[in-house]
Amino acid sequence: MKSYRKELWFNTAERISFVNITQDVQTAVKESGIKEGLCLVNAMHITASVFINDNESGLHQDYKEWLEELAPHEPISHYRHNLTGEDNGDAHLKRQIMGREVVIAITDGKLDFGPWEQIFYGEFDGRRRKRVLIKIIGE
Amino acid sequence: MKSYRKELWFNTAERISFVNITQDVQTAVKESGIKEGLCLVNAMHITASVFINDNESGLHQDYKEWLEELAPHEPISHYRHNLTGEDNGDAHLKRQIMGREVVIAITDGKLDFGPWEQIFYGEFDGRRRKRVLIKIIGE
Amino acid sequence: MKSYRKELWFNTAERISFVNITQDVQTAVKESGIKEGLCLVNAMHITASVFINDNESGLHQDYKEWLEELAPHEPISHYRHNLTGEDNGDAHLKRQIMGREVVIAITDGKLDFGPWEQIFYGEFDGRRRKRVLIKIIGE
């Protein structure tokens, strides 16, 4: 069994932002030399997500508005977590909807994807350096 | 390390539908010959889910009503994604609540499940051919 | 390839409760002897979650209030599932938001975590004996 580990770093300009990382993950799969296995991609921070969906800007705007309805950023005082001095209580909730991680099959040395699957880093408390972990195991 | 790959195909009669695929996944585990490992089951389409919960029709109706409250299908014009000509903006949101994938332990050649765990394909934009991927690795 | 399996048991005093299981999972990783691999941690019951987030009591209170807004426990009669004689329809919905499972990279024999990641058992229908499964594969 082989394993491979790689980190991706982000520092988004906006508080909420989605970044397409599909090519970065595919590059990591190639670097790993693994032909058959599983690839874990997870946010290493608890106010961010990794998710798989469509690379369509209208949909991304829909996600942002929907998440804002489900867990509004303001009023800041709505969240007890913000009594710690943070203002990111909402980001911890949004991240649960969109998920921490994805696990992707690797087949013939490639991400084994349906026609529209793309991997996104979902940032809900940006403007600071944060990481994604890629861990691949297989042969 | 062994690996095994199989696709399941669906074409549901309804726009929203839940299909019990537990036996199909157990069959794939048997076909794989893998006794100890991990089994990934994921929707290959971005308006569908794979999730684990109870095989109880009342609960499934509860899920459908709840998801419709959280992300209503209509008005179609509510979703920017639908400006692309699609009418499935809501389906992309519903899928995030229910999840893209499950990862299941395989022990002694079987799905290592609690007493009520069953695997479902969750369709939110049906009436077309769509796929689920099963990928198993282990020994 | 090695594999390792362990169960954790819970019987929470409250109906809804979050239990930090990070050390239990780290102990299982050490027991496994696996240095590089993947660790699956999943609820074996369908009204409970395993999730990764911050070990901060204010946030946990925020989660409980938010989940109660999204899927209220009462009125019990709101859920068709409760026609079976159960009163836990809401718990099946809450668990979908918080998730069934997490998959964690193992690197150098440890959980490969960002600075604030902690693993929690999320109970939404407690006061009974329930289990979490840990399954680790790797080398």
C122 Cα to chain A: minimum distance (Å): 13
C-alpha dist (Å) from residue B131 to B11, B45, B48 = 9, 7, 9
Segment B18-34 mean pLDDT: 98
Q: Is the dihedral of CA A22, A137, B46, B52 positive or negative?
A: negative
Which chains, if any, share at least 3 CB pairs under 8 A with chain A?
B, C
Closest residue to A3, CB basis, from C51, C58, C138? C138
How high is the pLDDT of residue A10? 97
Which residues of B fall within a CB distance of 8 Å from C73?
A: none
How high is the pLDDT of residue B53? 98
Question: Which CATH number fits the domain that encloses residue A29?
Answer: 2.60.120.460
How high is the pLDDT of residue C9? 98
Chain-chain contact of B46 with A116 (C-beta, under 8 angstroms): yes
Is the separation of the CB atoms in A39 and A118 below 8 Å?
no
Closest residue to C137, CB basis, from B61, B62, B138? B138
Q: Which residues make Cβ contacts (< 8 Å) with residue B76, sequence separation at least 6?
A: B82, B87, B89
Which residues of A fall within a CB distance of 8 Å from B84?
A: 56, 58
pLDDT band at A23 (very low <50, low <70, confident <90, very high): very high
Count of domains forming chain A: 1
Residue ranges making up the domain that contains A113: 2-138
Which residues of C fall within a CB distance of 8 Å from A137?
A: 36-38, 137-138
CA separation for the pair A49, B30 (Å, rounded): 34
Chain-chain contact of B58 with C131 (C-beta, under 8 angstroms): no
C-alpha dist (Å) from residue A17 to A48, B78, B92, C50, C107 = 10, 21, 18, 26, 29
Average pLDDT, chain A: 98
User: B128, exposed or middle or buried, with CB in 10 Å at 0-12, 13-18, 19+?
Assistant: exposed
**DSSP β-bridge partners for residue B53:** B118
Tokens of C115: 């600075």
B1 Cα to chain C: minimum distance (Å): 6
What digits encode the pLDDT tens for the residues A64-89?
Answer: 999 999 999 999 999 999 999 999 99
How high is the pLDDT of residue A100? 98
ipTM value: 0.98
Chain-chain contact of B114 with C46 (C-beta, under 8 angstroms): yes
CA separation for the pair B62, B86 (Å, rounded): 26
Closest residue to C105, CB basis, from A40, A70, A100? A40
Taking CA–CA distances from B79, the nearest residue in chain A reads: A62
Using the 8-state DSSP alphabet, how is residue A47 labeled? T
Which residues of chain C fall below pLDDT 70?
none
Chain-chain contact of C3 with B138 (C-beta, under 8 angstroms): yes
Nearest of B107, B112, B118, B113 to residue B50 by alpha carbon: B118
- Residue B2 CB neighbours (<10 A): 15
Q: What DSSP string describes C85-130?
A: T-S-HHHHHHHHHH-SEEEEEEETTEE---TT-EEEEEESS-SS-E
How high is the pLDDT of residue A45? 98
- Supply φ then ψ for residue A94, to 5 degrees: -55, -40
Strand pairing report for A2-10 and B48-53: unpaired
What digits encode the pLDDT tens for the residues B62-95?
Answer: 999 999 999 999 999 999 999 999 999 999 999 9
Looking at this protein, which amino acid is placed at residue B61? Q
Angle between helix axes A89-98 and A57-70 (nearest 10 degrees) is: 130
Looking at this protein, which amino acid is placed at residue A78? H
Helices (H), chain A: 22-32, 57-70, 89-98
C34 Cα to chain B: minimum distance (Å): 14
Q: Indicate whether this model's pTM tops 0.90.
A: yes
Angle between helix axes C89-98 and B89-98 (nearest 10 degrees) is: 100
